[in-house]
Chains A and B, each alone.
Chain A
Amino acid sequence: MEVRQVNDFIPLAWQQKEPQKTTAVQGEGFGEVLKRALNEVNELQLKSQQAAVSLALGEVKDVHQALITMEQARLALELTVQVRNKLIDAYQEISRMQI
């Protein structure tokens, strides 16, 4: 059996012999990124609220649009919670460190 064929499916980044030099990331720090992401999540939550209200009022033309908006907000919030959990984990890990 020809095994070499499998190589075709390996992502290009892995096939590169020399690792590319990482350039220093300029610009915004982690805090800025987090703040922006939180704002986006907040926006989705507001949209979801609006969708729920218009659904209750019977103003919605497509029910699926309202539900998708709500689902997106829920998923975004879930992701936010996961990021928060990771942050707290990292913080606790550091605070437990022996000096």
Chain B
Amino acid sequence: MKMFQAMQVSASGLTAERLRLDLIASNIANAHTTRTETGEPYRRKTAVFAAVLAEAGQAGEGVRVTAIRTDPTEPRLEYDPTHPDANEEGYVAYPNINVVQEMVDLVTAVRSYEANVTVLNAGKNMFLKALEIGRG
């Protein structure tokens, strides 16, 4: 419905931030994963956001996750000959994940989610205020 346009836009933002949170969760959970199906250590995953174009001259562009990219930076090498996945020189390839950076991203995602909820509530309050026109 046309009158819930702002709500739909905020909803798309919420969904996108949820997906970002899922990716951060998977990054932190796999911060020490040395084995994946490809045989390589786990690689950091990030979401690519894109604006969803509205009709020409219309407001209300939502956001959509167009792709989930893997971070191409090299794995972190750590010397640990006792590790089962250590190479001949005794180095273990750990994922290219910086937990501190992931935590910062996590906070950003949570705050963005909250911002979207605030916008949604503001829109709802405007709607309810409009219904008060002519009352009393």
Seen from chain A, the residues whose Cβ lies within 8 Å of a Cβ on chain B are: 40, 44, 62, 64-65, 68, 71-72, 75-76, 78-79, 82, 86
Contacts A/B (CB < 8 Å), 7 sampled: A62-B15, A64-B11, A68-B120, A75-B127, A75-B128, A78-B128, A79-B127
**Interface residues contributed by chain B, number (CB under 8 Å):** 17
Which chain B residue has the least Cβ–Cβ distance from A40?
B1
Q: Are B1 and A65 in contact (CB under 8 A)?
A: no
Chain B interface helix/strand/loop/mixed: helix
Name B1's contact: one of A62, A71, A76 (CB within 8 Å).
A76
Chain A interface helix/strand/loop/mixed: helix
Tell me how far the C-beta of B11 lies from the nearest C-beta in chain A, rounded to whole angstroms.
Answer: 5
1/0 per position for B118-134, CB-CB distance to A under 8 A? Answer: 00100010011001001
Q: Are A64 and B15 in contact (CB under 8 A)?
A: yes
Inter-chain CA distance A75–B3, complex, in Å, is 10
- Give B2-28 interface residues, CB cut-off 8 Å to A: 3-4, 7, 10-11, 14-15, 18
